[in-house]
Amino acid sequence: MRLKHHITAAALIAALAPSMAAAAITQAKVERQGPDVLNLTWTSPNPVDVYETDAAGTLSKVAQPLARGDRDGAFGRDHAGLARRYFLLVDQKDHQAITVAERALPLAQGSNFRDLGGYDAAGGKHVRWGMIYRSAGQPMLSDEDQAQIKALGLAQLVDLRSSEERVIAPSKIMGVPYAAIGYSMTDLLPQNATAMRNGADVYRRFPEMFAPQLRLIFAQLLNKAEPLAYNCSAGQDRTGFTTAIILSALGVPRGEIVDDYHLSTVYRRPQYELPKLDTATADNAAARLFAVSQKDPNWLTPQPLKDAEGRPYLDGAFAEIEAKWGSVDGYLAKEIGLTPDDIARLRRLYLQ
């Protein structure tokens, strides 16, 4: 039942500010249960008030109460339209609160476009929602998909793909400042087409190869707090590595970083990441590699990002960083050029 009165979120947050750092509410998430239905779930020993806002990343606009004293840890919400919805869960007993939103954008013809908000981070805070997005390539977006992405208010899109990939599958995210650093697919995967399986050996190349792209992304993040997105073709490997470094800089625990990495197996839809390619007409390195992959009968089924022993491929990148720079902190300082003041600023801008 919808409650008819509302309060300003700014006033609500001011009242709750002393207790928001360590919310007792846990396992909060929003999942889509149909085209126009969102389902909120959480765990709390106490009754919870549920508020809704359309503010991206902060609760500075009007917050509307949806439920008072909810005890069953679940709430359904009809939602149609383009705007993302953000929900504030407030524990009635201790007034602790947590913000939550839908993780992935429900694109009709897109793949693996998701928000990094909500993860536990440094100082008992959480990554702000609606500010940093990771994605697969988006060459087949529908008009409605394009409108949904436009509503995010992105200030920058950084494309991590090779020069060849950007030719065969141009992004259909329009009207957003766009940046990319050219390189060849043969530089990324010099062995042969079997390297497309993305083993840990390939990931060991990432820290050096994608340092320029990371410098570009961090410079944008440090410039001002505006929504940013970055992508590769599947949104899982180069994007997964980039995400791991960004979340590490924000103080997100390694376990949550790895959990986010594996979500690509859930959210990828390969049929919308690339056009169908023909080896007979493939005229660049990426086209030839992907044309071979598309002949695999399982190419439309995302495969787990781990080796036969269950180790995530991402471990290869972390192992390389630890061998060459000592730690992720060392990599951020020595290779990416972030100072302690930069890290502090990132956390002020992107944590709450």
pLDDT digits (tens, 9 = 90+) for 210-232: 999 999 999 999 998 999 999 99
Mean pLDDT on 81-91: 86
pLDDT digits (tens, 9 = 90+) for 289-299: 898 889 999 99
Exposure letters 135-148 (e unless 16+ CB within 10 A, then b): bbbbbbbeeebbeb
The per-residue pLDDT for 57 is: 47
Asked whether the predicted pLDDT for residue 344 surpasses 60, the reply is yes
Asked whether the predicted pLDDT for residue 166 surpasses 60, the reply is yes
Q: Give the C-alpha separation, 132 to 68, whole Å.
A: 31
Asked whether the predicted pLDDT for residue 104 surpasses 90, the reply is yes
Nearest CA-CA partner of 290 in 270, 313, 266, 269: 270
pTM of the predicted protein model: 0.90
The per-residue pLDDT for 249 is: 98
Asked whether the predicted pLDDT for residue 203 surpasses 90, the reply is yes
pLDDT digits (tens, 9 = 90+) for 232-289: 999 999 999 999 999 999 999 999 999 999 999 999 999 999 998 876 555 688 888 8
Instruction: Provide the strand spans (E) within the chain.
Output: 7-8, 26-34, 37-43, 48-53, 62-70, 74-78, 86-91, 97-101, 114-115, 132-135, 156-159, 178-180, 228-231
Tell me the CA end-to-end span of the chain in Å, nearest whole number.
Answer: 29
Percent of the chain with pLDDT over 70: 87
Count CB atoms within 10 A of the CB of residue 297.
Answer: 6
Given pLDDT bands bounded at 50, 70 and 90, which one contains residue 1?
very low
Q: Class for domain 7-101, per CATH?
A: mainly beta
**Domain spans of the chain?**
7-101, 114-350
Exposure letters 313-342 (e unless 16+ CB within 10 A, then b): bbebbbebbeeebeebeebbbebbebeeeb
Q: What is the dihedral of CA 56, 117, 218, 250, to 10 degrees?
A: 130
pLDDT digits (tens, 9 = 90+) for 27-37: 999 999 878 89
Given pLDDT bands bounded at 50, 70 and 90, which one contains residue 55?
low
More confident residue, 16 or 186: 186
pLDDT digits (tens, 9 = 90+) for 124-159: 999 999 999 999 999 999 999 999 999 999 999 999
Mean pLDDT on 74-97: 86
The per-residue pLDDT for 54 is: 73
Nearest CA-CA partner of 220 in 117, 120, 131: 131
Instruction: Name the superfamily (CATH) of residues 114-350.
Output: Protein tyrosine phosphatase superfamily (3.90.190.10)
The per-residue pLDDT for 62 is: 63
The per-residue pLDDT for 186 is: 87
The per-residue pLDDT for 20 is: 42
Give how far Cα 93 sits from Cα of 48, 49, 67, 68, 274, Å: 8, 10, 15, 12, 50
Mean pLDDT on 98-122: 96
The per-residue pLDDT for 79 is: 80
The per-residue pLDDT for 19 is: 41
Mean pLDDT on 57-83: 79
Q: What integer best gives the mean pLDDT of the chain?
A: 88
Residue 271 tokens, joined? 């049929």
Helices (H) and strands (E) in the chain, counts: 14, 13
Q: Cβ distance 244 to 261 under 8 Å?
A: yes
Long-range residue pairs from 341-344, CB within 8 A, at least 24 positions apart, any chain: 342/218, 342/222, 343/249
